[in-house]
Every structure is written in C-alpha cells, then in structure tokens.
Structure 1
Amino acid sequence: MAAPARKPILISGAGVCSLLLGQALLRASIPFRIFEKDTSITFRAQGYRLRLSNEGLDAIEAVLGDGFQKFWDACGKTGGAGFASLDALTGEPLADELPSYDSTKEKKADGSPEAAAQNTIRETLASRGGKVVGISRGGMRRIFLEGCEDSIEWDHQVTGYELTSSGVRAIFSDGSRSIEGEMLIGGDGLYSGVAEQLSGGALKVYDTGARGIHGQAPTTAFKGLGEGVFRILDQSRVEGRAFIITNVRAGDMDDPSIEFGWTMGAQPGVINPPNEDYTITGAPAANIAKSITEKWHPRLRPLFDQMVESEAAFWKITCSTPEGVPEWPNEPRVTVIGDAAHSMTPAGGIGCNTGVRDSALLGRLLAEAGGFRDGVTAAYEKEMRVYASEAVRTSYGLAKHQFGVIIDENTPTIQRGQRSV
C-alpha cells in the first residue's frame, strides 16, 4: 500500500520572502501551497529596486544553488562612482559621507545614556565585488516564482488560522478554510493577520507618519546624474524634508527600453495620498511626486517628467519595535517571515535582506527535517530574533538620524489582519 500523501506547508502571501521559501521547499521536494490576496503577480505596481547586501545575496544563493547565476545576471551592478548626496534645488553636492549615527549620543527616557549598541552605525552600500547590487522587486518575484506556479492560489487573502489535531488550516477573508497543512508560514507583510494571531499582538508595526512614493523612468532620464548611488535631499519645504534614493548603472543609460527606479521619502505632512488610500497606484502618486519636485534642478527633473506613471505607488514608512523582535509563546506549526516578523524603515536597505535570510534559514531547517518537525519553528525564531533585532535597531537608528523619524509611546500602530487603506 502506498504511503499517504504528505500534507503541504501552507504559506500566506506571495511576496519575495514567501516565494524564496517556496523555492527552498521545491528543491527539498516538500509540498507547499502559497495563498496570495492579489489576482496575479502583475496586479500592482512594484518596479522599484531593492539593494542587496552580502548577507542577502548569500541567503538567496544558498536557496537557489545552481540557479543563482540566472538571478545574479538579472541584477544591476553599479560601481566606480560611489555615493553622492545632492541638493535637490541646486544639483550641487552635499557632504558626500555615507549617513551614520552615533548611538553613544542616545538617551534613555530618564536622560541617562543608552547602554546598548555603544558604537557608530554607518550605512554601507557595496556588496559583492565592490559593486552596489540591486534588482526590482517585480524582477525578483518573477525569478522566484519560476517552478512554483502550480503551487500558488491567487485571490486568496489569509486573515488567520485554526489549529487541527494534526495540522493547521488557513482562514481566508471570506470565512472559508484552506486544505489542512502541516504548518503555516505567515509571509504576508505588514498587515499579516497570521502575525497578529500568533504573537497575540506582541508583533507591533509603528506608523512613523513619514510617507513615500516609488517610481521609475527610462534610463535615459538619468543621464544627467551619471553613474553612482544618489541621495537627493530637498530641505526647502515648509512641511518637511523630502528626498529620493536611486542608483544608476552606466552601461544602461543609453537604452530607453530599460527603466531605473527611484524611491522618494518624506517627513510627515509632505506626501498625502487621496483619502489616505495607500492602495492607489499610477497617476495620483505620479502627480504628487511631480508637484513635490517641480522646483528641483533641471538635471533631476527628467526622472519625474519622464516617469512611467503606471508604476508609481504610495507607501508608508513603518518600523517594528526599535528594541527588536519580541518573544511570543512558540507554536510548533506556525511562524512568520519577512515584514510580518520585522518591519523596517527604508534606511540602509536592510528590510529585504533580512527577509530573505528568514527564507533561507527556515527553508534549510525544513529541508533538514524533511518537512514539519516539532522544534523547527522554535529553532528558527531563536536564530531569527538575533539578526533581525540587530537589523531593526540599525534601520531605526539610521532613519532617526536621516529622516527625523521618532517612535515613542505616542506613535500609532497599524492594525494588522486587514488590507491597507
């Protein structure tokens, strides 16, 4: 008699971290099902680029193995010109030192020096070969999706879960249940209902009030900048500072069929989506970006005048508890990865790199166990909390220094378990 088919690992969300975990399970011949609230991988604008650190690249390579070369070839590599900080109105260089902050200057609430992390945290850019390595979120998702297509169920938003006598079921927004799985992995981002239920509310995501817009334009629009990594700062606005971050690869600047991305961020009050609806994409986001930059220097204006409006999208600058990833009672059959476990500010480009480390770590533990085994989620969470807590602290420290982001007892938290509006 044939052995009964093994129940799959259930994964909520089809973002970068979930798909990379899917790749790890695929290579280990462990069955899995991914449930994604969007109707397809191209449902929303997502063309902005993600900067990959050595740790992030190592994690991706550990999962993809021989398939890593295809991923590497799809990445952009910016080198030679290094980092430059520019004044948005004059186009002239500002201090060219990479952003940092001295944690020895931090104070506790009682005014005494903060004992932890007595060092200067500095943002680093280059990773392999002295290059700044980046890839669009959409491009990364498409590569990680390959081979996993038959294991994804689109238009299924997971809002929570129920444990059974021998497994777990995902609960969808319409009240229906999934098939029974051996485990459920919450990889559904900031608004994860799985994270809320699992941690009993301990996993908080703070809304810093700062806002952003992602955009992209043909590479020819970037020729006025030249090659390098740029932070462009506008300190002239009464409402608060605005900035963009982008990296430009010299070899592609003459090809209008290729697009580069930029990320705009601003202090509270500068970027205000219509009706505070952050799901809006396209022209409304593009128009706000254009209005903010209308007085910027002519060498910068093409990035916005020529932007691909359909790819513009709003985003909130959020952060988990700055002290790090909290503890919660371990559930052997349920855990969380990526933004569901640790939201970070854009400072330092740390969030995605930490998330893919989650995928590689959990994927390795599951592969070694051959699927579910009691103790896997506990081992994963113990190790994840160490590197992810360090990453959250660094991300928050840099954002506090660079953007003026402050999290205190009055900072609101976002409500998890529902879509952003």
Structure 2
Amino acid sequence: MSTQKPVLIAGAGIASLLLAHSLRRSGIPFRIFERDASFVFRAQGYRLRLSAEGLEAIEEVLDPDTFKRFWDKCGKTDGSKFTEFDAVTGEEKESRIAGQQALASRDGKVVGIARGDMRRIFAAGCEAHIEWRREVTGYELTDDGVRALFADGTKSVEGSLLVGGEGIRSRVARQLSGGKLKVYDTGARGIHGQAPTTAFGGLGEGVFIIRDDTHPDGSFALITNVRPGELDDPSVRFGWTMSAQPGVIRPPNDDHTIVGKPAADVARSLTRNWHPRFRPLIDQLDEPEAAFWKITCSAPSGVPEWPNEPRVTLIGDAVHSMTPAAGLGANTAVRDSALLGRLLREAGGCKPGVTAAYEKEMRIYASQAVGQSYATAVRQFGIKIDEEATRTVF
C-alpha cells in the first residue's frame, strides 16, 4: 500500500489526536474527521488522572518541547491513595478501595490534566488536517485502500488505513467487528461539577472520596483532586465527579445529555444532609457547568476477536469502553495511540501485518483494563453486567 495515501481517523478525541501527533512526527499523512463543529462544541468532562503507563505512552509520542508543555499543564498532587470521608458525619473512614489502587504515577505525585487542555496540546500542528462536521457512519474498501462514509452521503479521499476512534457509538467499530463489540448500560449515572477553589478549603491537598451511604436507593460518592498552590485563588475552578449505584442519580426522563440547572438541582437534593465541611462544594457549584453522565462498559469478558482487516482498526472507547471506577479509560486509549503509531512508523506506513500486530497486543492490555475497571465498579456502584441480558447502549 502506498504511504502517500493518508491514514484516515474517525473522531478527534484524545486518542485520535495523539495518534495524529505520532503520524505527523513520522511523516505519515493523515486526515481527521470529527462530527462536532469545534473542540469546544461539547463539555469536555471531568479531569483525567494519568497512570504511569498512560504518562509513558504520551511521553513516547510527543516531542520533548510539547511534552514539557503538557507536563507543565498537568497538576501534581501529593498522596498515593484516596482519603475517604463520611459525607454526613464528616469523619474520615477506611476507603473501600484503599490499598487496591495506587494513584501516584511519577515522582510520588498524582498527575492529572483537564481533557480539554489535553486535546489542545495533542492537536498542536494537526489542526489543518481536521475536517469538522464530518460524522463517519461507516467505510468502504477499495482495491488497495479505504474510504470513510459520512452522514451527508459523501465519501472521504481514499486512505491507506481507517482508524475508528469516535467513541462508544462508533459505526466503524460496529461494521468492523460484525456487531461483536458492544457497550453496555450499567444503569449507574453520575454528575460532573466544578466550583471555585475556595470551596475546597475544608479538604486541603489530596485525592478525596466523600461517600454517602444514607440514600434509600443506594450509596453514592463524590471524588475530587485538590491540587496545591491554587486554593486561595477564587478565579480558578476545581472539578468533582459524583457517581452512584443504579437508581440513585436520576436525570429527568433519564436524559443524561442534560446540562446546567437540572443536574445542579439533583446534586443539591442528594447532598442536602451533608456535613458543613463539604457543603461548599455543592453550594458554590457553577450551575451552567453541571452535567449528567451515563456509566457504560464494554463486555467484562474482554475485547472480542473479529477477522482482521488490514485497512481498518480501532482505538480508545470505540474498542474498549470502561467505567470510570479505576481511572483506566483514557490511559488505555493513549496506550493504543502510542502502540499503533509506533508500528506504523516502524513499517513506514500502513503495511500488511500492522493492524493484526496492533490488535493482538491491544487486546491483552485492554481486556485486563476493562476487567479491572468493571470489578472496581462492581464494588463501588453495585452494578452487574449480564452480557446476555443487559441492555446495550449501541
């Protein structure tokens, strides 16, 4: 296959952009197709915690200057484990996941970065290769290449490889796997929120779980990372995420796409009996930024196999969606980007055997990550996925 044909990438999320960055450094042409109108078209979600593996994958791909810019943007927080509090009494308690999850990823620090910041840094130098408002609905193979198909009925230029990186509703994933890749609705829901740093003064620096076991429908918890050096600056916002057992957080009409006041009102209602130490996190909530989210997961049994297609493959949530319980989703996605980018660079472009080698290695670490994420979510949220009976998202 000619390396002059570009690698086509569906979606402009963090995995896709990191892969594009890798291709750019290798001199391999590429095009990115994103259904949104811009990077700020939708909310970017909660701050991401980076594992040692995720951080190493990012460092492998970025040039030294870009990695320094990325590293400088990351927050570094002391504390290698969660500190857990009882939301109602304010007392510290033994964490349900204490000892099960090491948080520090480098130099004894918990390293995190906002998803939006990560996307902007990864996109540096790649912006001219992004086509906005281009929703990929599938693909067609040509004699020696592939074309992406768009929702408006048009087709892309011919590429050497199509990489489906457009998330849990990936049409590329469904077509490539013949329907074997499924994403399950766990029934659990969450809320993202943010507040001025001054609202977090009662916690101090660290990574915290504030858990409430008094709700009649089940327990729920708020998780936040309080970084040093910014607690006295009211212009800075820290984020938190609330997650719950199925049936506790109830978006109106179960519409998890709702943002703003309805999400803020549910958060206020759930936490009305919380200890004064934690009330500022909710009372000072930036109402327009509050958002519901649906907790989904790929098959706990692991990434399934499908007949390899040398000209099409998948990265990120398109192939292995995870619950947020173990913080592994984004970290596994960037490992995909580093691995696939390295194999393409070593082969000098899309050559026979590249996607097969990538998928073989990816299935091992991604299946382990999905299993760990699901097991942690079972303990935290009380969810259970029956792969024969549980409703799929897509």
Name the TM tier (shorter chain). Answer: over 0.9
Report the Cα offset of residue 125 of structure 1. Answer: 0.8
Instruction: Rate the CA distance shift 1:5–1:83 in 2: closer, same or farther, 3 A.
Output: closer
Corresponding letter in the other structure for 2:204: G
User: Are 1:14 and 1:36, in contact at CA under 8 Å, matched by a contact in 2?
Assistant: yes
User: Are 1:208 and 1:405, in contact at CA under 8 Å, matched by a contact in 2?
Assistant: yes
Q: Distance in 1 between matches of 2:338 and 2:260?
A: 34
Does residue 238 of structure 1 match 2:238? Answer: no
CA deviation string 1:46-68 (max 9, x = no partner): 25211101000000000003121
Q: Hey, what does 1:383 align to over in structure 2?
A: 361
Corresponding letter in the other structure for 2:357: A
User: Are 2:190 and 2:241, in contact at CA under 8 Å, matched by a contact in 1?
Assistant: yes
User: Are 1:124 and 1:348, in contact at CA under 8 Å, matched by a contact in 2?
Assistant: no
Does residue 414 of structure 1 match 2:356? Answer: no
Report the Cα offset of residue 181 of structure 1. Answer: 1.1
Corresponding letter in the other structure for 2:389: N
CA deviation string 1:4-25 (max 9, x = no partner): 9912111111111111111101
Q: Distance in 1 between matches of 2:265 and 2:130?
A: 35
CA deviation string 1:244-289 (max 9, x = no partner): 1111112111112221111111111122223332322222222222
Q: Hey, what does 2:56 align to over in structure 1?
A: 58
Does residue 402 of structure 1 match 2:390? Answer: no
Corresponding letter in the other structure for 1:202: K
User: Are 1:46 and 1:313, in contact at CA under 8 Å, matched by a contact in 2?
Assistant: no
Q: Distance in 1 between matches of 2:152 and 2:263?
A: 30
Report the Cα offset of residue 79 of structure 1. Answer: 0.2
Q: Hey, what does 1:361 align to over in structure 2?
A: 339
Q: Hey, what does 1:333 align to over in structure 2?
A: 311
Does residue 138 of structure 1 match 2:116? Answer: yes
Q: Hey, what does 2:157 align to over in structure 1?
A: 179
Computed over aligned residues only, the root mean square deviation of the Cα atoms, in angstroms, reads 1.5
Does residue 322 of structure 1 match 2:300? Answer: yes
CA deviation string 1:101-152 (max 9, x = no partner): xxxxxxxxxxxxxxxxxxxxx2221110111111111111111111111011
Q: Number of residues paired by the alignment?
A: 391
Instruction: Rate the CA distance shift 1:211–1:97 in 2: closer, same or farther, 3 A.
Output: closer
Q: Hey, what does 1:41 align to over in structure 2?
A: 39
Report the Cα offset of residue 398 of structure 1. Answer: 1.0
TM-score by length of 2: 0.96
Corresponding letter in the other structure for 1:306: Q
Corresponding letter in the other structure for 1:55: E
SS at match of 2:371: helix
Q: Distance in 2 between matches of 1:269 and 1:164?
A: 48
Q: Where do residues 213-224 of structure 1 align in structure 2 (5 Å cutoff)?
A: 213-224=191-202
Q: Distance in 1 between matches of 2:262 and 2:8?
A: 36
Q: Distance in 1 between matches of 2:27 and 2:9?
A: 16
Does residue 90 of structure 1 match 2:95? Answer: no
Task: Give the fraction of aligned pairs with identical amino acids, expressed as a percent.
Answer: 67
Q: Where do residues 74-89 of structure 1 align in structure 2 (5 Å cutoff)?
A: 74-80=73-79, 82-89=81-88
After superposing the two structures, state which structure 1 stretch, 174-183 or 31-40, moved more: 174-183
Report the Cα offset of residue 298 of structure 1. Answer: 1.4
User: Are 1:45 and 1:310, in contact at CA under 8 Å, matched by a contact in 2?
Assistant: no
Alignment equivalent of 2:20, drawn from 19, 22, 46: 22
User: Are 1:281 and 1:312, in contact at CA under 8 Å, matched by a contact in 2?
Assistant: yes
User: Are 1:47 and 1:311, in contact at CA under 8 Å, matched by a contact in 2?
Assistant: no
User: Are 2:3 and 2:28, in contact at CA under 8 Å, matched by a contact in 1?
Assistant: no
Does residue 252 of structure 1 match 2:245? Answer: no
Report the Cα offset of residue 97 of structure 1. Answer: 6.4
Instruction: Rate the CA distance shift 1:229–1:335 in 2: closer, same or farther, 3 A.
Output: same
Q: Where do residues 203-352 of structure 1 align in structure 2 (5 Å cutoff)?
A: 203-352=181-330
Moved over 6 A (4+): none
Q: Hey, what does 1:13 align to over in structure 2?
A: 11
TM-score by length of 1: 0.90
Q: Distance in 2 between matches of 1:327 and 1:292?
A: 42
CA deviation string 1:305-356 (max 9, x = no partner): 2122232222111111111111000000100001111011111101111110
User: Are 2:9 and 2:164, in contact at CA under 8 Å, matched by a contact in 1?
Assistant: yes
Q: Hey, what does 1:113 align to over in structure 2?
A: none
Corresponding letter in the other structure for 1:63: V
CA deviation string 1:58-105 (max 9, x = no partner): 0000000312111011000110585211111111111146446xxxxx
SS at match of 1:132: strand
Q: Distance in 2 between matches of 1:391 and 1:197?
A: 24
Instruction: Rate the CA distance shift 1:364–1:49 in 2: closer, same or farther, 3 A.
Output: same
After superposing the two structures, state which structure 1 stretch, 122-131 or 75-84, moved more: 75-84
Alignment equivalent of 1:151, drawn from 126, 129, 137: 129
Q: Distance in 2 between matches of 1:401 and 1:97?
A: 8
CA deviation string 1:135-178 (max 9, x = no partner): 11111111111111101111111111111112111111222211
Corresponding letter in the other structure for 1:266: A
Q: Distance in 2 between matches of 1:81 and 1:350?
A: 16
Q: Distance in 2 between matches of 1:173 and 1:215?
A: 33
User: Are 2:246 and 2:383, in contact at CA under 8 Å, matched by a contact in 1?
Assistant: no
Does residue 71 of structure 1 match 2:70? Answer: yes
Q: Distance in 2 between matches of 1:261 and 1:190?
A: 24
Which consecutive residues of structure 2, in runs of 5 or more, have no partner in the other structure?
none
